[in-house]
Every structure is written in structure tokens, then in C-alpha cells.
């Protein structure tokens, strides 16, 4: 027995039993043949019960229907209706019997039955209000799912960012040379390494997110182990960046003394380098199954440990700049081992089933997806570093770099929010696509973009209001403050654009579009943004404002427009089918047949 969505007529049993109470009516409704057939139908999402009604939520690749049963004393009214934003009618036939008398629950036929045809209008005066309430409820439910990921993600990212800031703060108490060495190591050596490995690990947001949505839980652990293998091998190939940091920095024009000390600090940060290979996949593994609270608590523990160890090594034991570098190693491995212990010792009983030899199969396909993810995020991460390098070649570059650094610091702190939305959107879209719910992925995208834009508009307004005041947090120099005031407008629009762009990148990661977006980033950032910034900065003599404006409105704005166009025109049901085929390809056939 199946319910059909066709012509706009429902049928009501004119001889339906009288009910003494809504509870009795609901009990009888539980034995309706149509109710039973709906519960057994694969498209049924859930059944909801209240005192006066039973509601079925039905999912379909092309539409969703809600069947509403209302009970009253003088008659049994069965009223089908659909969401007001759908131009559909429902043809439903109901059969009733008496369970106490042993009656069979069969769907009555139209001929020879006591069915009276009842014309049911699609909408009435209350339907539009019900539809608005339904949309509001859906937004609220989706927002809760999104913030369940985004909230802890913001905290954990700020905690990780604070570790680097605290390390530089302690190094600043040792001397200017030590501060410069730590800053160059963090921003140049570790910054290059961090962006590439973080991007490669984001492949897990696609794979683990879709597998979790499809309820292929065992594959999450296998995917994470594959990522460990790929990132560990990549770390070995990237070791020369740390081993030969001194000659590279000299080649880039740094003084011999600074290059030597930075090279020594880089050698001591090799343990941090390998921690990335394990921590990033662990983070994505837990994040894709919504275990974000564990990530937040372990991040808090690592931050507290970092503060204590930094104080102990620098002030008490006086290990100098080497001790400062060692603290970040120690704290990051606390973070890594904390997440690993949570995963292995009972935190993920369904998705972690132990180490498996399956992790060594399909590595080449995994490498290709990881490389595309790494290239996609690296091209974004290095873009703003090029902005600082280009500014350093201007006349009177010292003031320009100071002002730009202040703006980039504020932008970096605020970026923790869009980057958290990047992670949250990627997980939500991947979960919905893995579950075969293309429209759910589309709705998750809309809610995420809208929420992030509202937050971006808040900070955009705040920067415009405090354009001549926020610089005092970092400097007392009038020349620097004046330059910051000039750059504040560009900072405001950068924050506004960044409230959309990372979210759309999250959609790309959740959908598995990394390779396409990598080409888009390459074209927008380096074929449009950088040349336009050079043109505005030097040819038109606009200085740092010209460089920044050219790179933002030429590169970032163009990339945001293209990603928006792709997302709007996306065939979400087609993407859900691609996700299903992708999961079938990557799943283990032996496990699938068991």
C-alpha cells in the first residue's frame, strides 16, 4: 500500500468511530492502514505525536509532504495538507477498523465502500501562518545543528591561535632578535607548512562528513587512518623547509644573525610539524560526527598547559628562545594526544573500530583529493602573505607595514568566526549529501551563509564606527594611526567579503569540489588579484591602499561571485547522487555485504 501525490482530493470515512478523547483517537490512528503503510515507507523521515494530532514527515527527492491527522469528538476529520510553498495536492485513502474486535486493517477500495469524497483545498486562511511557523522551525533546527559545530570550532580556533600569540609574547620579553626569530618562524616556515597540511586534511571533511550522513560509520576511522598516512609522508617531504630554513631566509634577504637564529628555532619546531599530520585529521574526524565539545575541552586544556609551560620554561628555567619554541611543541602534542585518547578510549565507539589494513588501500585516490584540498586552501592562505610582501617593497614601507599588520591582526582574529563557519558548513553539507538529502544540503547552505553575513555586517559596522579608535590598541604613533584610519574602510569590506567566501568554500569542501575551486582560486587570486594590486599600487601610485584594494576587489570579490554563482545553480539532488556513488566507490565491499 502506498500513498500517492496526485490530484487534489482526499477521502474521509463517513462512518468513522466516535472518540471519547483525543488519546483514544490517536490510538486508533496508530492502527490506520495508511499510517502503517507510511511508517513502512522508505521515504518517511519521522512520526511526531501530540495530544491532538499525529504528524508524519515524508522526504522525497522532489518534494516533502506533511500529513496531519486531527481528532475531535463529534467526527473523525482526516485532513491532508502540504507545506504552503509547494504547489502540490495529496490523494490519500484511509481505512479504519476496530483493533479490539480483531478487525483487519486493509485499505478500502473506492467501489462498494462507505467512502465519501471530500474536496480538500490546498491552503486556507491558517495555512500561510502555519507555513511561516514551519519555515521558522526549520531555520531554528538547522541553526542549532550549525552552531553545535560552529560554537566549539570558534573557541578551539581561537585557543590554537592564542598559543602562537602567547609564544610570541613570551619571546618578546627575551629581546627584539628573539621576537623576530619566533615571528619569522611562525609566519614563514610554520605558516607555509600549516596551510598546506591543514588544506590536505580538509579532504576528510568531504569523506567523513558524507560517510557519517550515509551511516557508513566504520569508514570514518579508515578515512582518518588514510589521512594520517598521507600527511605523515607529506611531512617527511616537507622536512627540508625546516632543515634548510637558514639559507632560505638569507636568500630572501634576512640578516645573517636573524636567519641563523630563525633556522635554529625552526629545527626545534620539527615536532610541531609532525603533530599537524595527526591533529588535523583527528579534528576533522571528530568534527564530522558533531563531537565538537570534546575538541573544545581538549583545546582549553592545551591552552592552559601552554600558558603554564611557557611561564615555566621562559621565566623559571630560563631556557631562552629555544625553550619558547619547545613550549609550542609540548602544548600541540598535548592537544593531539588528548584528541587521540578521546577517540580510542571510548569517545567514538561506532566510528573507531581500531587500526585497519584497509587504510593502505585506495591511497592514490586519497592523495589526489588531499592534494586538491591542500592547493585550494594554500592559495587562499598565501594570498594575504603576498600582500604583506608587496607592501614591504613600497617607499616608507615601515609605517605601511605597521598599519597593515594592525589591520591584518584584527582581520585574523575576526576570521576565526568565518573559518568556523567554513568548518560547520562543510560538515552540514557533507552530512546531508551523504544522507541523500540534496534539498537539506541546500537549506543548510542558505542558513549558514545568512548567519555568517549577519555577523559580518555587525563587524563591518563596528569597524566603520571605530575606524579612528581601534588602532590605539596596538600603537601610539600618529603616523601609524593615520594610516590605519585610511585602511579601515578596506578592512571593513575585507571582513564583509570574508563572511561569505569561507562559507562558500565550506560548501565546496562538503560537496567535494576542491579541485574546481583550486583552479578558481588560482585564476582569481594570482591572475587577477595580484596583477591588479601591483597595477594599483605602483602604476597608479596608490600605495598600500591600492595594493590591498586591487587584491580584495579584484581577487576575493571575483572568487566570491563565481562561488556564489556555482552554488546558486547547483543541482543538489545530483550532488547527493554523486555522494552516494562516491561512497560506494570508497567503501569496502566486504563490509558492505555483511
Q: What is the pLDDT of residues 185-198, one digit of tens each?
A: 887 788 788 878 88
Residue 258 CA to residue 526 CA, distance in Å, equals 30
Q: Report how far Cα 150 is from the mean position of its chain's Cα atoms.
A: 7
Residue 8 has pLDDT above 70, yes or no: no
pTM score? 0.70
* Helices 127-172 and 176-184, packing angle to 10 deg: 140
What phi, psi does 318 have (nearest 5°)? 55, 55
Q: What is the DSSP string of 433-444?
A: HHTT-HHHHHHH
Backbone Cα Rg of the chain? 29
- Residue 461's CB is within 10 A of a number of other CB atoms, namely 12
Average pLDDT for residues 367-386, to the nearest whole number?
80
Exposed/middle/buried for residue 31 (C-beta within 10 Å: 0-12, 13-18, 19+) = middle
Q: How far apart are CA 361 and CA 366, in angstroms?
A: 9
Residue 587 — pLDDT band, cuts 50, 70, 90? low
Torsion of CA 517, 283, 494, 465, to 10 degrees: 160
- How wide is the angle at C-alpha 363 spanned by C-alphas 244 and 585, nearest 5°? 150
Phi, psi dihedrals of residue 424, rounded to the nearest 5°: -65, -45
Number of H-type helices and E-type strands within the chain: 24, 6
Q: What is residue 55's three-state secondary structure?
A: strand
Residue pLDDT, tens place only, 87-110: 333 333 333 333 333 433 333 343
User: Is the sign of the CA dihedral 15, 21, 25, 30 positive or negative?
Assistant: negative
Question: Could you tell me if 47 and 146 are in contact, meaning their C-beta atoms sit under 8 angstroms apart?
Answer: no
* pLDDT above 60 (res 395): yes
Among 114-118, 255-259, 428-432, whose mean pLDDT is lowest? Answer: 114-118
Tens of pLDDT, residues 303-318: 999 999 989 988 888 8
Residue scoring higher pLDDT (222 or 182): 222
Amino acid at each position: 500500500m502506498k500513498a500517492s501525490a496526485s490530484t487534489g482530493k482526499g477521502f474521509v470515512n463517513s462512518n468513522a468511530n466516535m472518540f471519547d478523547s483525543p488519546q483514544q483517537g490517536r490510538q486508533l490512528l496508530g492502527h490506520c492502514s495508511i499510517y502503517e503503510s507510511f511508517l513502512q515507507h522508505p521515504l518517511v523521515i519521522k512520526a511526531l505525536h501530540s495530544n491532538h494530532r499525529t504528524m508524519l514527515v515524508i522526504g522525497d527527492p522532489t518534494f516533502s509532504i506533511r500529513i496531519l491527522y486531527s481528532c475531535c469528538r463529534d467526527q473523525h476529520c482526516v485532513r491532508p495538507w502540504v507545506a504552503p510553498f509547494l504547489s502540490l495536492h495529496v490523494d490519500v485513502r484511509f481505512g479504519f477498523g476496530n483493533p479490539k474486535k480483531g478487525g483487519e486493517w486493509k485499505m478500502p477500495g473506492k467501489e462498494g465502500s462507505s467512502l465519501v469524497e471530500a474536496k480538500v483545498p490546498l491552503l486556507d486562511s491558517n495555512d500561510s501562518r502555519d507555513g511561516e511557523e514551519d519555515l521558522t522551525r526549520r531555520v531554528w533546527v538547522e541553526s542549532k545543528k550549525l552552531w553545535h559545530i560552529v560554537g566549539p570550532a570558534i573557541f578551539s580556533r581561537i585557543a590554537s591561535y592564542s598559543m602562537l600569540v602567547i609564544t610570541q609574547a613570551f619571546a618578546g620579553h627575551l629581546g627584539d632578535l628573539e621576537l623576530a626569530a619566533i615571528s619569522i618562524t611562525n609566519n614563514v616556515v610554520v605558516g607555509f607548512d600549516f596551510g598546506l597540511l591543514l588544506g590536505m586534511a580538509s579532504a576528510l571533511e568531504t569523506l567523513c562528513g558524507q560517510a557519517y550522513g550515509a551511516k557508513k560509520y566504520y569508514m570514518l576511522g579508515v578515512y582518518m587512518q588514510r589521512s594520517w598516512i598521507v600527511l605523515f609522508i607529506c611531512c617527511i617531504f616537507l622536512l627540508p623547509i625546516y632543515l634548510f630554513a637558514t639559507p632560505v631566509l638569507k636568500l630572501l634577504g634576512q640578516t645573517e644573525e636573524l636567519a641563523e637564529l630563525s633556522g635554529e628555532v625552526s629545527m626545534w619546531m620539527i615536532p610541531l610539524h609532525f603533530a599537524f599530520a595527526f591533529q588535523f585529521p583527528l579534528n576533522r574526524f571528530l568534527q564530522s560526527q558533531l563531537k565538537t565539545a570534546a575538541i573544545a575541552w581538549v583545546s582549553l586544556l592545551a591552552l592552559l598547559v601552554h600558558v603554564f609551560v611557557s611561564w615555566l620554561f621562559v621565566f623559571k628555567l630560563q631556557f631562552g628562545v629555544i625553550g619558547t619554541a619547545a613550549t609550542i611543541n609540548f602544548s600541540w602534542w598535548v592537544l593531539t594526544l588528548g584528541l587521540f585518547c578521546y577517540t580510542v578510549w571510548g569517545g567514538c565507539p561506532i566510528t573507531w573500530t581500531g587500526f585497519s589494513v584497509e587504510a593502505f588501500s585506495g591511497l592514490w585516490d586519497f592523495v589526489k583529493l588531499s592534494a586538491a584540498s591542500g592547493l585550494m586552501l594554500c592559495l587562499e592562505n598565501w594570498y594575504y602573505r603576498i600582500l604583506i610582501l608587496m607592501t614591504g617593497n613600497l617607499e616608507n614601507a615601515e609605517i605601511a607595514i605597521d598599519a597593515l599588520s594592525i589591520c591584518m591582526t584584527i582581520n585574523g582574529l575576526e576570521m576565526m568566526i568565518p573559518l568556523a563557519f567554513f568548518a560547520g558548513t562543510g560538515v552540514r553539507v557533507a552530512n546531508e549529501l551523504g544522507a541523500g538529502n540534496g534539498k537539506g544540503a541546500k537549506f543548510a547552505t542558505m542558513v549558514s551563509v545568512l548567519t555568517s553575513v549577519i555577523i559580518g555586517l555587525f563587524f563591518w559596522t563596528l569597524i566603520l564606527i571605530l575606524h579612528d579608535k581601534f588602532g590605539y590598541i596596538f600603537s601610539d604613533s600618529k603616523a601609524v594611526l593615520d594610516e590605519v584610519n585610511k585602511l579601515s574602510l578596506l578592512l571593513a569590506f575585507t571582513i564583509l567579503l570574508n563572511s561569505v567566501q569561507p562559507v562558500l568554500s565550506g560548501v565546496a569542501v562538503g560537496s567535494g569540489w576542491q579541485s574546481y575551486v583550486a583552479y578558481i582560486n588560482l585564476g582569481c587570486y594570482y591572475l587577477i588579484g595580484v596583477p591588479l594590486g601591483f597595477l594599483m599600487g605602483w602604476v597608479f601610485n596608490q600605495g598600500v591602499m591600492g595594493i590591498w584594494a586591487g587584491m580584495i576587489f579584484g581577487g576575493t570579490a571575483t572568487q566570491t561571485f563565481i562561488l556564489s554563482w556555482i552554488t546558486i545553480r547547483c543541482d543538489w539532488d545530483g550532488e547527493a547522487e554523486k555522494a552516494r556513488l562516491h561512497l560506494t566507490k570508497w567503501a569496502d565491499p566486504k563490509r558492505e555485504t555483511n
